[in-house]
Chain A
Amino acid sequence: MLTPRSLRRFFVCLTILLPLAASAGPEEDRAAFSAYFNKRFPDVPLAEYVNGIYAIDEQARKQWLEIEEFPPYEFAVEQGEELFRQPFANGKSYRDCFENGGIGVRQNFPRFDTEKGEVVTMEWALNRCRSQNNEAPYAWKSEEIIALSAYMAWISRGTIFAIEIPDDPAALAAYEAGKRFYYSKRGQLNLACSDCHVKSAGAFVRADHLSASLGHPSHFPVYRSKLGKMISLHSRFYGCVRDVRARPFEEQSEEYRNLEYFLTYMSNGLEVNGPGARK
Chain B
Amino acid sequence: MSNLAVILSLSLVLSVPVATASDISDEADITALDSETVIEMIEQAEVARSRAADLRAEWLETRDLIEQARHDAELGELEQAARLAMRARRQSELAVEQALREAEAWKRRVVR
Contacts and interface: CB of A to CB of B under 8 A. Distances in A.
Q: What does DSSP make chain B's interface, helix, strand, loop or mixed?
A: helix
Nearest to B15: A188
Interface of B: 1-4, 7-8, 10-12, 14-15, 53, 56-63, 91, 98, 102, 105-107, 109-112
A266 B8 CA distance: 26
A198 B91 contact: no
8 contacts: A29-B111, A32-B111, A188-B15, A204-B1, A205-B4, A245-B60, A247-B59, A249-B56
B62 A247 contact: yes
A187 B60 contact: yes
Interface of A: 21-22, 24, 29, 32-33, 36, 179-180, 183-192, 194-196, 198-200, 203-205, 210, 242, 245-249, 255
B41 to A, nearest CB: 21
A179 to B, nearest CB: 7
Nearest to B10: A190
Contacts of A185: 98, 102, 105-106
Contacts of B3: 199-200, 203
Contact of B14 (A190, A200, A210): A190
Given A183-B109, A198-B111, A246 B14 contact: no
B61 A245 contact: yes
